[in-house]
Amino acid sequence: MAWVAVCLIWGTTYLGIRIALETIPPALMAGIRWTIAGLLVAAVLVVRGRPLPGPRTWPGLALLSLLMIGLGNGLVVWAELFVPSGLTAVVLATSPFWMVGVESMLPSGEPLTRGTFGGLLVGFGGILLLVWPDLHAGGTGAAHFALGLVLLQLACAGWALGSSWSKRHTTGENVFGATALQMIFGGLLMLVVGSALGEWPALAFSARTTAAFVYLIGVGSIGGFVAYIYALRHLPVSTVSLYSYINPVIAVILGALVLGEPFGIRIVLASALVLAGLAMVRMSSTRRARAAAGAAAAGTAPAGDSGTEG
């Protein structure tokens, strides 16, 4: 249920971010959003008599907040200044590719195989088809669009690193308390960044941006992030990362219907290629897991699928 909630909720937050940015500067928007969400979750826990994680866990939680909120979400917010919300979701669908890459470099991670590498190529081919016309157009708009793409890939890298670290360094603390502190730490970090950039004079709210902002806090931050952390604790990283199949579909449709963002055959084909690449990566991981399980049962080393392992 937590994983399904992530799939549905985070597909809508790209539209919410795009609307909120109409009057709210990016760093302050992320900072206020996550700080309020974290404080609300922490307050509920305290009222119910549930202790928050102690200072011993704070360094690890601060690192996770930097990777997953500061980089993973903060850079997405900045990128949406230059990249439509639907395209942002499709580009971020490459997050599982980054997760696979991070896992392959860790001692206990799953090495790359030909099937996985083929899926990566297909997925990035879809991204290239998606963004090439805008990059090829030239001018200031193309430069800003390219900057947005770079920010999105850095966000994917930060999110993948945070997810892998979280999976390997659980300390048994209450998942909701840990999530509340991550939100607070990440929100305070973004507030510091926004203050350093001088964003406070530009802060303003309209009825439209306020509604989007409240939705991002209540549903996107509290509902979505808590569900993601909970799912990550109880499901494999590769399974949790499959939310990226659903998010782009929802985001592209909402962006087209509400904001009039591009939606044509190229968008559909490129998105299909990205999702096909994700499916190939997933199938390769599943085959390898089954081979490893069979080999363990037989008492032999797994053969893997005939691929390049590194």
Query: Is residue 215 assigned to a domain?
Result: yes
pLDDT tens profile 124-136: 788 777 777 766 6
Residues of the chain with pLDDT > 70, as a percent, come to 85
How far apart (Å, rounded) are the C-alpha atoms in residues 89 and 247? 7
When computed from its CA atoms, the radius of gyration of the chain, rounded to whole angstroms, is 20
Task: Locate 157 and state its tokens.
Answer: 């890298």
> What global pTM score does this model have?
0.78
How far apart (Å, rounded) are the C-alpha atoms in residues 183 and 62? 9
Query: Is residue 188 assigned to a domain?
Result: yes
Interior angle at CA 140, CA 136 and CA 144, nearest 5: 80
Query: Is residue 309 assigned to a domain?
Result: no
User: Assign residue 111 a region: left if phi > 0, alpha if psi is -120 to 50, beta otherwise?
Assistant: beta
Q: 282 vs 15, which has greater pLDDT?
A: 15
Boundaries of domain holding 117: 2-292
For residue 19, what pLDDT band results from cuts at 50, 70 and 90? very high
Query: Is residue 118 assigned to a domain?
Result: yes
Query: Is residue 310 assigned to a domain?
Result: no
Domains in the chain, number: 1
- Residue whose C-alpha is closest to residue 89's, from 254, 243, 212, 252: 252
Query: Is residue 55 assigned to a domain?
Result: yes
Query: Is residue 50 assigned to a domain?
Result: yes
pLDDT tens profile 87-123: 888 888 777 777 777 777 766 666 667 777 787 788 7
